[in-house]
């Protein structure tokens, strides 16, 4: 199957595209876009991969599924399109970033500026029906994104995995901590942020670890 995705990722995930589960997933997704309102726009499904080539990944942040309201999702976890109000979790991410590094709260919640520096903003599930959270779970996306994480774990070194909340931590359970660093805390959701996300200092810890290995820090 010819999947339009960044060439480095295409090479690493080539076998996935020929598996029965992915072929079935593709059929399901095409029907969903044909018959329902689905986010992100079809051309942005693989945006996280396209903006952050396999060989340039140095940080991975894992989300669950895309925002499901109009105009929000564009293929990067926690990120929203320019001009869109910040969802609560993103508000808290920016609060912790400001507390940790003194970075001013930005005018835009579009995190493409992070992706272009090697931050893979990966949702476990890459699509969702409008206004129906988790409506595309257990259709095959989780297996596909597991394969992406596995490829990074196996074929790259010195990646910072920022795992926020139980879902992300379970998703990253097989990461080799002798080759990568795993930063864990609670999810930035208002339901949990005060129980450890605020004060986690993941952004400064990430940059310190990268610099110690001769890598460029992220301009968060």
Measured distance CA(175)–CA(182) in Å, rounded: 8
Distance CA(126)–CA(108), nearest Å, equals: 22
Residue 155: active-site member: no
* Nearest Cα residue to 89 out of 59, 116, 67: 67
Cα 34 to Cα 139: distance, rounded to the nearest angstrom: 17
Class of residue 185 by CB neighbours under 10 A (exposed 0-12, middle 13-18, buried 19+): buried
Name the active-site residue from 11, 20, 55, 65.
65
The four Cα atoms 195, 199, 200, 202 give a dihedral, to 10 degrees, of: 140
> Strands 119-123, 59-63: parallel, antiparallel or unpaired by DSSP?
parallel
Task: Give catalytic residue positions.
Answer: 65
């Amino acid at each position: 199957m010819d999947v339009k995705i960044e060439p480095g990722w295409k090479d690493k995930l080539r076998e996935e595209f020929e598996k029965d589960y992915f072929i079935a997933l593709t059929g399901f997704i095409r029907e969903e876009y044909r018959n329902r309102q689905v986010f992100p726009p079809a051309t942005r499904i693989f945006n996280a991969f396209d903006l952050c080539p396999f060989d340039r990944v140095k940080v991975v942040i894992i989300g669950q599924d895309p925002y499901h309201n109009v105009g929000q999702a564009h293929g990067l976890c926690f990120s929203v399109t320019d001009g869109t109000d910040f969802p609560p979790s993103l508000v808290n991410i920016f609060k912790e970033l400001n507390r940790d590094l003194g970075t001013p709260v930005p005018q835009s919640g579009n995190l493409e500026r992070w992706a272009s520096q090697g931050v893979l903003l990966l949702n476990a599930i890459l699509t969702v029906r409008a206004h129906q959270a988790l409506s595309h779970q257990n259709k095959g996306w989780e297996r596909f994104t597991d394969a992406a994480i596995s490829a990074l774990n196996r074929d790259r070194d010195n990646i910072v995995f920022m795992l926020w909340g139980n879902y992300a931590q379970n998703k990253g359970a097989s990461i080799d901590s002798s080759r990568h660093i795993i930063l864990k805390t609670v999810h930035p959701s208002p339901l949990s942020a005060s129980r450890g996300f605020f004060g986690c200092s993941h952004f400064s810890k990430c940059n310190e670890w990268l610099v110690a290995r001769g890598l460029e820090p992220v301009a968060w």
